[in-house]
Structure 1
């Protein structure tokens, strides 16, 4: 078989030889199988029987070497996969990441080991079956959920979507991975907002563009306070220009109903994303909101591009949606309601409408403010 004729010769050598001869036979047989390329069904069946006898009888080093050779085979049966998985040792995780094909039986056998590294390697594969996925989502491991979040071959819907959205609230790496996926609704990352990068925070906000949202409990708080926009923006401009962020924290705590820790995060977020959410929730328009953002955002680099982005967001983000986002920060809403059809964005991408929608009208006064800010350059607020 496979270059060693006749097959009975192997049986005689195994029966009459010691461990050293078994070691030699195992490595030779595995090498011959791999060189065969695509063996016939009878050849695979014969080799399965032979390998099943050689691997247990060989020494530890020969088993590991034989498994490493066999792992390179173009075609393995589930039984041969099991032998590789059993004896490959420390190289198992690497093999799971590179193996072109892996049977469902082997994946389920490996998951029964309850090894987080092995499960994470399986979660990163492009071919897990629904049964395997169901088992993977039951594994209580951050490694596994991070791999699942990054695996674009997994369709995010139903229970899988819910599980990853919940995981994102507890693991910022899962949240960041999901924020990069085009098939994931970034609005579901609202509870993890403050754990995300600046770019991901803006993506969460953009996910609420031209979109209806369920009623936000915090909306009642905003309506009861009835803060005048002009007074609010004037107070915030003064506090931010004098770098009195602790006082901004206390002011937000009084008017938003958010806890002081969250308000402190908003006040010290120099990207301006969290502050935008509050300003828009209170109904600020682009002209008033930008005056505050100019004083509140970082002065370490040219900000004209970032501020221009906020101008666009003021024109496309509904006030109620930012109130909803603030309620999500307090854990008062079920974000999975957003997947319902009535809460999907108004404008959906379509192959029939390749022309991009026109940008919202720009205010010349705002453009002049952005240009003036760009010329000012780096300065200290105070």
Structure 2
């Protein structure tokens, strides 16, 4: 059997030897099996019987060493996988990472123990069955959800999509992981907008380009406000040009209904992403909106590119959709409505700004920059 002594010889040695001999036999048997390559059916059955006898009576260190050696074998049955998992100790995580194949039963047993580090490793594996995925998604663990969100082999759809979207609202690391994916609708990350990096905030806004949205609860409030869009942009431009951001905070709180903490974040957001949402929701045009953003933002490294992004979004993102995004910030909408067919995003060639729309060739940006130079006011630092 397997290139070493006959099975009956091992049986005799087990029965006549002590623990020390059992330890030696266990390690030798596991090493021989691991070196064997792909065993035949009878060979695997014999080794299962042998390992089932040796593991329970061997010492703890020998069991851990034998399991680690056995874990390197080319083919393990569910029974042998269970022996490895039960005895490998602190090497369990490397085993779960490197194992080419794991049976559903082994993974379900691990999940049933609620071993969070091990389950997190499982959540990162490819080719997980729906049975295993369902159990992982039922776990109340941020670490497991972070691994699920970052696993490119898991397609975010149906119940999995809903679960990931809800988790993103509670965990910014889940939101960031989902924002990095091209197969996840960034619009569903609207509630986590302020937890995202600058680039991913832009990605959330771009997810609403040329997209229909449900009627936002805040839309009626915007319609009832007596302030005109031109007056609003003029007031904001004056306040930002004089760096009176606390007054911007109070003004935004009055017109949006958002709490002052959130409005303070918007007023001090020198990337301009959150301010763009407000401006567009209230119907600001690209010309007036960009003049406000020029005063409010600081883009010393790539200022022109950022302005080009905003110019493109003024053209492609509707006030209605940004009002919906604002309502999402206020917790007034169910973002999962966006998964309905009528609200799915239009197919975009690319979410990156085309080279043809760089600021030097974009008249909207050029006019806004020219207007700023005529005004002779300083921009945010």
TM exceeding 0.5? yes
| 1:56-81 deviation per Cα after TM superposition (whole angstroms, max 9, x unaligned) | 11111111110110111111000000
Q: What is the match of residue 67 of structure 2? A: 67
Contact 2:290/2:311 (<8 A) preserved: yes
Give the distance between the partners of 1:283 and 1:372, measured in 2 at CA. 20
What's the offset of the Cα at 1:158? 1.2
The offset of 1:347, in angstroms, is 3.4
Residues in 2 aligned to 1:303 and 1:359: alpha-carbon distance in whole angstroms: 14
In the alignment, which residue of structure 2 is the partner of 1:366? 365
Match of 2:28 in 1: 28
Q: Distance in 1 between matches of 2:49 and 2:226?
A: 80
Distance (whole Å) between structure 2 residues aligned to residue 96 and residue 298 of structure 1: 47
Q: Structure 1 residues 347, 381: closer, same or farther in 2, change over 3 A?
A: closer
Match of 1:14? 14
Q: In the aligned structure 2, how far is the partner of 1:47 from the partner of 1:371?
A: 81
In the alignment, which residue of structure 2 is the partner of 1:353?
Answer: none
- The correspondence of residues 8-157 of structure 1 with structure 2, limited to 5 A, is 8-157=8-157
How big is the alpha-carbon RMSD for the aligned residues of Structure 1 and Structure 2? 2.2
Q: Distance in 2 between matches of 1:114 and 1:19?
A: 32
* Structure 2 residue ranges without an equivalent (≥5): none
1:219-256 Cα shifts (integer Å, max 9, x gaps): 01111104212211111111111211111010001111
- Cα distance in 1 between the residues matched to 2:213 and 2:133: 31
CA distance, structure 2, for counterparts of residue 76 and residue 110 of structure 1: 16
Q: Structure 1 CA distance, aligned partners of 2:254 and 2:225?
A: 9
How far apart are residue 300 of structure 1 and its match? Answer: 4.2
Q: Corresponding residue for 2:273? A: 273
- CA distance in structure 1 between the aligned counterparts of 2:82 and 2:338, rounded to whole angstroms: 43
Structure-1 separation of matches of 2:292 and 2:364: 15
Match of 1:329 in 2: 329
Q: Does the 8 A contact of 1:307 with 1:370 survive in 2?
A: no
Rounded to whole Å, the distance in 2 between the matches of 1:293 and 1:348 is: 25
Give me the whole-angstrom Cα distance separating, in 2, the residues matched to 1:337 and 1:348: 20
**SS of aligned partner of 1:74:** coil
Q: For the residues of structure 1 that align with 2:300 and 2:285, how far apart are their CA atoms? A: 26
SS of residue matched to 1:76? coil
